[in-house]
Structure 1
C-alpha cells in the first residue's frame, strides 16, 4: 500500500514538473509543433481563422456597448472604457507557448471574463474561512438592507455565483429588471413581474453580479482588486498593467475608508482591463487546479465547485461556462472544457484533458465553437 501511495505521489510531482510556469517579465518559453503534437499547417489555419473572423463591432467600445445593449431602458455608460485593438490570442500546451498572434501585451477590456475573476475572489473568501459555506444566505454576512425582504433574504452565495439569485433592487442606478429584460412586453410588465424563486432560473444580469462584488467587498473590507492582486495575480507573475474598475459612483465607506466597489463586467463600462498574457497566466492557474509552480493558490475543492453545472443551467457553474450537454455545447470539443467568456469575443478556455489554455480576443463570439473544433482537429 505504501509503495502505491509513493508511486502516485511521485507521478503527481512529475506531472506538475512537466508543466511550465513563466516567471514575471520572462520571455514565454515556446514548444515546437512537433513536441506539442500539433499539425503545423492546421495550426496556421486556426490562426488565420481567428484573424479572419474579427468581432464585427466598433473598435470604439463606447459605441459597441451602446449599440449592443440599445434595447435596454435606462442603459448608459457608467464606468471607464477603452478603444480596443485587433484580434489577438495565445495557445499554451502544458504552459508553454504553441502560438500567438496580435499584440499580447496590449491592455484591453474583457467584459464578462471579469466574472471568472470575481468568482475566484469568492473562492478566496471561502478558502480563508471568511465565508463558511456557499450555501449560507448572504443576509447573514451583509446586514445593511441589501438582502432584506422576503425575496432577497433567501439568496445564497451559490445563487449569486450561478446567476440564479433573482435578487430585486437597484444598485448604483442600475435596476435589476432593466438589465437584459425580456424581448416581449413593456416596462410596466418587467418592473412589476413576479420574481422567480431564487435558485430556479438562470438570468444573465450584471446588476446582480455587481451585488455579489458589493457583498464580497463587505466581507473582505478591502477593495477586491487588492485581494486579487496579493492572493493571485502577484503570485502568478502577472504584469502591473491590469486594472479592475467600478462605476464612477460606486464608492463605499468601510471602516472609515473610501473604497470602490468593482463590477463583474463591462456592460456599462468598467470591469477588468488586462493584457492577453496575464489572461493566459490566469488560465494556466486553473489548468493546474489552482496550483502555481508547487504552491496552491486557490483550492482544488473551489475549482471543482466552480466548474460544477448548476441545476437551472447545465452549461454554467460559478461564473465559468461549461461545455456540458445543452444549448451552448461546442460540438467536437471535449465536454470537460470550461471557459470564461466576454462581450466582443473575449475567451479564456481551459482544456485539462489536452493540457491546453487558449486565449482569444475580439473573435466573433459565435465563431468560438468552430475555432475550438479546428484547434482540436489540429492536435
Structure 2
C-alpha cells in the first residue's frame, strides 16, 4: 500500500528535466523555430520539486518549497478563466456566445474570421484568431504539440490553413494573450489587480505572487499605463505563485466557488468551465478534463486540471475531496504519481 511519504519520494525522484537556473535549459521558447525562440518578458530560476495535498480543505502534507513563488506557466490560463468568471458574475460578460468585437471594437475582433469569435471560442481554444500581438503572430504556435492533446498534423510554426471560428482546436499562446488583452479592456483595470481583489484575497492567499506580461505589452487603459499580462510563460512573463496559494484557489474550485463561507465565483460559471468542448472533450474553459479518463487513466473522470510546462499541476478531484498541487514534475510520470497520491490519500 502506497503511503504519502512514498508518493512524495516518487515525485522528488522524477523531478523536471529543466535546469533549476533559468539561464540553462529552461522554458518552452527553446522549442520554437526562429525568430520566436526567444524571450519577450522576464523569467526567473525555479525551486525544487514541490507540492501540497489538501483533503476536505485541510493540508495533509507538503514537500519541497511550498511557499516559494515559482513560475506556473500555463496554469495561468486557468486563472484567466477565473477572471472571465468574475466578469460573468459582474455582468460584464453576460453571454459567452457574444461576439467579442460587438462589445470591444478596435482591439482585433473586427474583420473576417476574427469578427466571428466569441468569448467561448477563446476560452476553449477554438477561436482561430489571426493576427500579431506584442510582436508575435498567431503562426508562432501553429501545429503546437502539447503533452495531453491530440498530435498536430504539421511542423511547429509553419503557417496552417485557418478554419472557421469554433471548428478547430489548437493550443495557441498568442490567442490566449489576445484573450488576456480582451479581458483587460473588458475590466478597464489591470488583471492582476482584479485577480487579487476578486480571487486571491477572498481565498486567503498570500501577497507573495506576481503576474506580469511582456516587456512591450503596455497600453493606455482608462487614462493609465497598464501592462497586459500573459496566460503563461511561453515567451516570458506569466504568473509566479506558491504551491500553497495555488492550493487555496483549487480548494475554492472544489468548493464550487466558495471560500471562507463567502462566494467567490458562481457555481454556474464553474459548471461552464467543466463542460467538455465539443471538438476537444478533454478541454473545458482553459482547464483540462479527464473526460472518459483519457488524460489520466488512473484517476476518476471527474478530475480536472490546470497544467503548465515544466511541469506544474493543479489537480482538483471532487469524488475524494482532494486538491493536489505538484510543481516541477517530469510529466511522463504524472499519471503514476497521481495514482499513488490518490491511493495514499484515501488511507491518510
Aligned partner of 1:28 in structure 2 is none
Q: Is the aligned partner of 1:254 residue 2:221?
A: yes
Contact 2:29/2:39 (<8 A) preserved: no
Gap change, CA 1:186 and 1:87, over 3 Å in 2: closer
Count of residues paired in the alignment = 336
Gap change, CA 1:66 and 1:349, over 3 Å in 2: closer
SS in 2 for 1:318: coil
SS in 1 for 2:319: coil
SS in 1 for 2:168: coil
Gap change, CA 1:61 and 1:314, over 3 Å in 2: farther
Aligned partner of 2:314 in structure 1 is 348
Distance of 2:296 and 2:319 partners within structure 1: 15
SS in 2 for 1:234: helix
Aligned partner of 2:190 in structure 1 is 223
Q: Which has the larger radius of gyration?
A: 1
- How far is 1:180 from its partner? 4.7
Distance of 2:90 and 2:217 partners within structure 1: 26
Distance of 2:202 and 2:278 partners within structure 1: 34
- How far is 1:194 from its partner? 2.7
Alignment equivalent of 1:114, drawn from 69, 76, 83: 76
Alignment equivalent of 2:21, drawn from 57, 60, 71: 60
Distance of 1:67 and 1:224 partners within structure 2: 24
Alignment equivalent of 2:31, drawn from 64, 69, 77: 69
- How far is 1:67 from its partner? 6.5
Aligned partner of 2:125 in structure 1 is 163
Gap change, CA 1:150 and 1:373, over 3 Å in 2: same
Aligned partner of 1:48 in structure 2 is 9
In the alignment, structure 2 segments of 5+ residues that lack a partner are 145-152
SS in 2 for 1:370: helix
- How far is 1:104 from its partner? 0.9
Contact 2:113/2:129 (<8 A) preserved: yes
Aligned partner of 1:294 in structure 2 is 261
Encode CA deviations 1:167-208: one digit per residue, 9 max, x unaligned.
Answer: 000000111011254674697xx33x4311111111001000
Instruction: Trace 1:70-89 onto structure 2 (pairs within 5 A).
Output: 70-71=32-33, 73-89=35-51
SS in 2 for 1:61: coil
Alignment equivalent of 2:300, drawn from 310, 334, 354: 334
Distance of 2:79 and 2:155 partners within structure 1: 34
Question: Normalized against structure 2, the TM-score is what?
Answer: 0.93
Distance of 2:314 and 2:42 partners within structure 1: 22
Distance of 2:261 and 2:154 partners within structure 1: 52
Distance of 1:302 and 1:185 partners within structure 2: 36
SS in 1 for 2:341: helix
Aligned partner of 1:367 in structure 2 is 333
Contact 1:66/1:76 (<8 A) preserved: no
Gap change, CA 1:168 and 1:55, over 3 Å in 2: same
Alignment equivalent of 1:134, drawn from 76, 89, 96: 96
- How far is 1:376 from its partner? 2.1
Give RMSD over aligned pairs.
1.7
In the alignment, structure 1 segments of 5+ residues that lack a partner are 1-38
Q: Is the aligned partner of 1:237 residue 2:198?
A: no
Gap change, CA 1:145 and 1:377, over 3 Å in 2: closer
Gap change, CA 1:253 and 1:47, over 3 Å in 2: same
Question: Normalized against structure 1, the TM-score is what?
Answer: 0.85
Distance of 1:66 and 1:46 partners within structure 2: 27
Distance of 1:342 and 1:185 partners within structure 2: 22
Q: Following TM superposition, where does structure 1 have runs of at least 4 consecutive aligned residues deviating by more than 3 angstroms?
A: 70-73, 180-187
Q: Is the aligned partner of 1:208 residue 2:175?
A: yes
Distance of 1:160 and 1:66 partners within structure 2: 21
SS in 2 for 1:197: coil
Distance of 1:136 and 1:203 partners within structure 2: 21
Distance of 1:158 and 1:211 partners within structure 2: 13
- How far is 1:362 from its partner? 0.3
Contact 1:72/1:179 (<8 A) preserved: no
Aligned partner of 1:13 in structure 2 is none
Distance of 2:321 and 2:335 partners within structure 1: 18
